[in-house]
Chain A
């Protein structure tokens, strides 16, 4: 047995995670060919690296198949019911910052708050005969947010990519998506509501509350978390 650390398998998220661990004396690296998802850990004993898609890391943590994992808060909250009973956040890693926001066409000068969105949704439904469509892939988070905000007469439509384009393509009236800079929104003639975002997300190191450990694993985890200062 060893402590299994799940890390995003590609892109900037992987590189930055490697940097963050490296700066704390734990060297993570990919091994073998570029296409092979295998990795190595140097600088600490009893820890192995598992490279996974960032979207799968919440599920693997919840199932206890990995002990530690790096992923976005957004994915943890969207994918895990009662997430705080399944994982514990150990450290925010300071990168991968993005807000989950609700955006509407910039031309909707009458809509800036959730209260406005609700009012516009009621009028829209009366006029068009169906509920106002909001495109997103974060169904649970957005639904909870809109319920708390008292918005009725809307429906969520699933959008797994190019969400900003759905309004122009007439498949949605508004969107809820992750944004880091807002440039894509502006380019698509959208504006963010003047409200607290649905969620502020960043890459975070989580510990599984479900993963089994023996005494050696516990010791390895203790040493690792001490090195990481978490």
Chain B
């Protein structure tokens, strides 16, 4: 990679000092984190990306794959409000698909927990990252998972179908497969059709073993019957979703384009107001939104905690490298880790190692 650990660490400390100067409180957290929390949040896939180890008394532990979860946990347990935090430290990622990428590297973060004007806070984080990264020629790209969520929530179909799509927003392939099925583009699997054709499929099922009870099976059969009775999702509705997903232009044009789509899908309007307020706040902070790229599907295939604004800074001359910085809004994460409490949160991280590499 050509950047020494010492140089990477020094750059991490420099960036953390910049964030502290901007008003963030420096924070540190343990390298070994409870695997349970992370597994519960991300599911089994996290095992393919993180190092899991075993401690005889504490059970399964994970080398922190990022700081966001421990920082949220710390804030939710004893943080003052509002709060701005910064941290710098190593994170650990298994690189099975890309063995040439480092499995241990620094991240420097800036995270904001604040109930104030959310558009302004989005702009604060993005603006700060843009200033810090200004000396290097990077392309910023933004997205908004909230617009996608609103589009799905506005679909004219059953709540169960909308829920299934929402659950898979972060898995584009599966999302597409569900859309194809709900719209009748792919037929109902033969096994399901055969099962539903039986009057009482459980009659010949044999002994029920395991924790999943007969009642749970019956409940799902009933849900499948109800789903089979649903009319197909109309072609027009699928086209609206596709149109939203395909939006890829500068923020100003994207907003206009999405407003056009919202004529047929008014459920988008609240999310578009959020988007517009963010654009205004970004402008007020000196970001040229007429030049800033927006991709409706940005932030969709990474870790599933960004649920609103999402951004990244990429080096266009080095497509082999991951983004140099990423960030976004993760309100839902604070709700899931907050034990009954929640607070709007937005933040991001820079990777000093690859920042130095592209700056060379």
- CB B205 to nearest CB in A, in angstroms, measures 4
The answer to whether A128 and B211 touch (CB under 8 A), given A109-B201, A115-B177, is: yes
Q: Does B120 contact A (CB under 8 A)?
A: no
CA distance A143 to B209 in the complex (A): 24
The answer to whether A116 and B192 touch (CB under 8 A), given A110-B224, A123-B219, A154-B44, is: yes
- CB A165 to nearest CB in B, in angstroms, measures 10
- Is B189 within 8 A of A113, CB to CB? yes
Beyond contacts A143-B44, A155-B43: 8 other A-B pairs, Cβ-Cβ < 8 A, are: A106-B205, A107-B209, A109-B205, A113-B189, A119-B164, A120-B220, A123-B223, A150-B177
CA distance A173 to B209 in the complex (A): 9
Which B residues are in CB contact (< 8 Å) with A120? 212, 220
Q: Does B210 contact A (CB under 8 A)?
A: yes
Q: Does B191 contact A (CB under 8 A)?
A: yes
Q: Does A170 contact B (CB under 8 A)?
A: yes
CA distance A167 to B48 in the complex (A): 25
The contact string, 1 if C-beta is below 8 Å from chain A, for chain B 181-217, is 1000000010110010000011001111111101011
- CB B186 to nearest CB in A, in angstroms, measures 10
Tell which of A108, A130, A144, A146 has the most Cβ of chain B within 10 Å.
Answer: A108
CA distance A152 to B47 in the complex (A): 13
Which A residues are in CB contact (< 8 Å) with B211? 128, 170, 173
CA distance A131 to B270 in the complex (A): 33
- Is B168 within 8 A of A107, CB to CB? no
Which B residues are in CB contact (< 8 Å) with A143? 44-45, 47-48
- Is B189 within 8 A of A115, CB to CB? yes
Q: Does A65 contact B (CB under 8 A)?
A: no
The 10 A-B pairs at the shortest CB distance, nearest first, are namely A150-B174, A112-B191, A107-B205, A109-B201, A167-B210, A107-B208, A110-B220, A168-B209, A81-B96, A109-B205
Q: Does A212 contact B (CB under 8 A)?
A: no
CA distance A216 to B62 in the complex (A): 48
Tell which of A119, A148, A172 has the most Cβ of chain B within 10 Å.
Answer: A119
Q: Which of A81-108 contact B (CB under 8 A)?
A: 81-82, 105-108
Q: Which of B33-84 contact A (CB under 8 A)?
A: 39-40, 43-45, 47-48
CA distance A155 to B212 in the complex (A): 15
Q: Does B221 contact A (CB under 8 A)?
A: yes
Among candidates A107, A116, A146, residue contacting B206 with C-beta atoms closer than 8 Å: A107
- Is B48 within 8 A of A140, CB to CB? yes
CA distance A156 to B44 in the complex (A): 7
Among candidates B40, B168, B201, residue contacting A152 with C-beta atoms closer than 8 Å: B168
- CB B180 to nearest CB in A, in angstroms, measures 11
Q: Does A139 contact B (CB under 8 A)?
A: yes
Q: Does B285 contact A (CB under 8 A)?
A: no
Q: Does B319 contact A (CB under 8 A)?
A: no
The contact string, 1 if C-beta is below 8 Å from chain B, for chain A 151-193, is 0111110000000000110101100000000000000110000
